[in-house]
Every structure is written in C-alpha cells, then in structure tokens.
Amino acid sequence: MLVLDGHESHVNAEFNTYCKEHDIIPLCLPPHSSHLTQPLDISLFGPLKRAYSDKINNLVRGGVTHIKKDDFFPAFRAAFQVAFKEQNIKSGFRAAGLVPFNPDAVLSKLTLRL
C-alpha cells in the first residue's frame, strides 16, 4: 500500500498502470487534509521539529552562532532518533484512521459549518 495525497498531479494513467503491474495499492487521501489524514504529519514531524529545535538551542547556548553542515547532521540525527519511535509511528497511523481502519478517527475531528 502506498499512501499519498490525492492531488491530480500525483495520480495519472501511467502511475495507475505502474501500481497495478507491481501489486501496489495506492491510497489517495483528500487534498488539503494532511493535518488529519497523513500519519507522518500527525505524529512524527511535530516531535521531530521540537526535538531538532531543542538540539539547535543547546548548540546556541554552547556558543554556536551559525549552524554549519557539520553541526546540522548530528543535531538532526539525534532529533530523528527521539521522534521516529515505533510508538509515534503507530500512533500516527491510528490517529489518521488507517491502521486499524477507522474513518471515524478523522470524521470525528471535522466541524460542520452550515
């Protein structure tokens, strides 16, 4: 299964043929719904951003005034290891209603405006 947003630029006949030939099931999510339906947006990128910010703040407190390439990767790797935990990954798929499949997980977050 390949989860992707349903933007028309991502899905075309060639893409569909490729998926069929390689036994890939495309699951197209509605456009502009990533805050509700994309597991990585829900449970990983927020914690990654916070952990990376913490690592950079530690460097700044230590006297670093400019983040160089040599500073970036160790800080990012440490932040990645904090954020990308199995529990966070599973939590994102659960919150997005993908695994286990539960459309109400997303629908219950929508507000209806008349």
Reduced DSSP (H G I as helix, E B as strand, rest coil) percent helix, strand, coil of the chain, to 5: 55, 5, 35
Domain of residue 21, residue span: 1-32
Contact, 96 vs 85, CB < 8 A? no
> Is 8 domain-assigned?
yes
Could you give the number of structural domains in the chain? 1
DSSP states along 62-97: TT--S--HHHHHHHHHHHHHHH--HHHHHHHHHHTT
Residue 19 included in any domain: yes
Residue 12 covered by a domain: yes
| 18 in a structural domain | yes
**Residue 2 DSSP class:** E
Tens digit of pLDDT per residue, the chain (114 long)? 888 877 777 788 999 999 999 999 998 877 778 788 888 888 999 999 999 999 999 999 999 999 998 889 999 999 999 999 999 999 999 998 989 999 999 889 887 665
Tell whether pTM > 0.85. no
